[in-house]
């Protein structure tokens, strides 16, 4: 699960605050994946020589907070990087193509610290306003970390969701989603949800699951904002969760086989 409006967290502090996660975990490694970046319908970068950089939260490498790809400058289309700015060992550019401009849409680290020396003088791009493709598939929010797993497993556990003593859902056919460094999430059929789900304007994006729609819940005479979400059209790797409803463990009372679960402490608590 990715937090609502996750891409509005430029420092990655919410991700870095995950229980048990180190503030940052730097990694730079070659990838065999064909990576392209597009703006205004035009390709601004095209490479088969990318390095994958994995980092969560703020570390010693400015402007890098989530997994992304770094590209050789020779694989960036000439003329699309304009208005260079220098700040210490960091160079930033505006990206311009197809009649569109993204300010500070690309940057380069001249002398990154160990163990990230391989990223020196490579170019990476913002995930806001530009479209990234991995092979022929558009990516969402950030690059996918190959060292992270998302497993979806059917279960016959009895899952009961409550808030303020009121039943929101009860199911003996949940799908349990196990995602590295995150609490277990319980995805329930809509038929097993008795709560009054009110569509929210909130949308979240996850590279491992897709675009989620959020719901507020009416409880007695009040509305609890953004308490549940659903992926109507998840990415092909996670088709099982399509249309199911998941409640935010951090803000509901969750009972599994009659045992009350401790509310996890995460950035969404």
Locate 204 and state its tokens.
């979240």
16: alpha, beta or left? (left if phi > 0; alpha if psi -120 to 50) = alpha
Q: How far apart are CA 221 and CA 100, in angstroms?
A: 47
144 forms bridges with which residues in the sheet? none
Q: Are residues 106 and 197 in the same domain?
A: no
State the total domains in the chain.
Answer: 2
Residue 61 has pLDDT above 80, yes or no: no
Report residue 60's pLDDT band, with 50, 70 and 90 as the boundaries: low
Q: Are residues 104 and 178 in the same domain?
A: no
Domain boundary residue, one of 103, 138, 173 = 138
Q: Are residues 106 and 127 in the same domain?
A: yes
Locate 205 and state its tokens.
């994006």
Mean pLDDT of the chain: 88
Q: Are residues 21 and 110 in the same domain?
A: yes
Taking only the tens place, the pLDDT of each residue in 8-23 is: 343 334 444 443 444 4
CATH of the domain at 47: 2.170.150.40
Locate 164 and state its tokens.
């303020």
Domain boundary residue, one of 73, 106, 138 = 138
Residue 240 counted as domain residue: yes
Q: Are residues 60 and 125 in the same domain?
A: yes
Report residue 24's pLDDT band, with 50, 70 and 90 as the boundaries: very low
Q: Are residues 78 and 198 in the same domain?
A: no
Which has more pLDDT, 16 or 130?
Answer: 130
Q: Residue 202: what pLDDT?
A: 96
Q: Are residues 15 and 132 in the same domain?
A: yes
Q: How far apart are CA 51 and CA 42, in angstroms?
A: 22
Locate 90 and state its tokens.
């960091």
Q: Residue 62: what pLDDT?
A: 65
Q: Are residues 210 and 256 in the same domain?
A: yes
Report residue 115's pLDDT band, with 50, 70 and 90 as the boundaries: confident
Q: Cα angle vertex 46, ends 41, 49, to 5°?
A: 160
Q: Are residues 42 and 102 in the same domain?
A: yes
Three-state DSSP class for 247?
strand
Taking only the tens place, the pLDDT of each residue in 208-217 is: 999 999 999 9
Q: Per-residue pLDDT averaged across 243-263, rounded?
A: 96
Residue 193 has pLDDT above 90, yes or no: yes
Which has more pLDDT, 101 or 1?
Answer: 101
269 forms bridges with which residues in the sheet? none
Domain boundary residue, one of 138, 165, 195 = 138
Q: Are residues 168 and 67 in the same domain?
A: no
Residue of 52, 20, 22, 16 whose CA lies nearest to 35: 52
Report residue 90's pLDDT band, with 50, 70 and 90 as the boundaries: very high
Cβ neighbours for 202, distance < 8 A, ≥ 6 positions apart: 4, 5, 214, 226
Residue 267 counted as domain residue: no
Residue 144 counted as domain residue: no
Report residue 133's pLDDT band, with 50, 70 and 90 as the boundaries: very high
Q: What is the DSSP letter of 118?
A: G
Q: Per-residue pLDDT averaged across 218-226, rounded?
A: 92
Q: Are residues 32 and 95 in the same domain?
A: yes
Q: Are residues 99 and 173 in the same domain?
A: no
Residue-number span of the structural domain to which 49 is assigned: 6-138
Residue 145 counted as domain residue: no
139 backbone dihedrals φ, ψ, rounded to 5°: -95, 155
Q: How far apart are CA 207 and CA 234, in angstroms?
A: 10
Residue 130 has pLDDT above 50, yes or no: yes
Residue 65 counted as domain residue: yes
Report residue 7's pLDDT band, with 50, 70 and 90 as the boundaries: very low
């Amino acid at each position: 699960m990715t937090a609502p409006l996750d891409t509005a967290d430029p420092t990655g502090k919410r991700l870095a605050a995950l229980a048990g996660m180190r503030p940052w975990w730097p990694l730079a490694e070659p990838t065999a994946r064909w990576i392209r970046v597009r703006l205004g319908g035009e390709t601004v970068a095209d490479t088969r020589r990318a390095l994958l950089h994995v980092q969560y939260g703020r570390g010693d490498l400015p402007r890098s907070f989530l997994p992304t790809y770094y590209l050789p400058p020779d694989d960036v289309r000439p003329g699309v990087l304009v208005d260079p700015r220098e700040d210490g060992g960091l160079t930033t550019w505006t990206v311009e193509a197809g009649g569109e401009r993204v300010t500070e849409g690309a940057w380069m680290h001249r002398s990154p610290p160990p163990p990230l020396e391989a990223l020196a003088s490579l170019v990476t791009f913002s995930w806001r306003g530009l479209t990234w493709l991995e092979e022929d598939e558009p990516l969402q929010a950030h690059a996918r970390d190959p060292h992270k797993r998302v497993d979806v497993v059917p279960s016959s556990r009895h899952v009961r969701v409550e808030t303020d003593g009121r039943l929101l859902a009860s199911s003996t056919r949940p799908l349990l989603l196990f995602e590295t460094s995150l609490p277990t999430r319980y995805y329930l059929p809509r038929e097993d949800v008795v709560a009054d789900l009110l569509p929210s304007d909130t949308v979240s994006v996850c590279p491992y699951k897709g675009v989620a729609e959020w719901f507020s819940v009416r409880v007695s005479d009040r509305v609890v904002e953004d308490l549940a979400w659903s992926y109507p059209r998840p990415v092909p790797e996670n088709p099982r969760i399509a249309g199911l409803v998941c409640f935010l463990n951090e803000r509901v009372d969750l009972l599994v086989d009659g045992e009350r679960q401790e509310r996890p402490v995460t950035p969404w608590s």
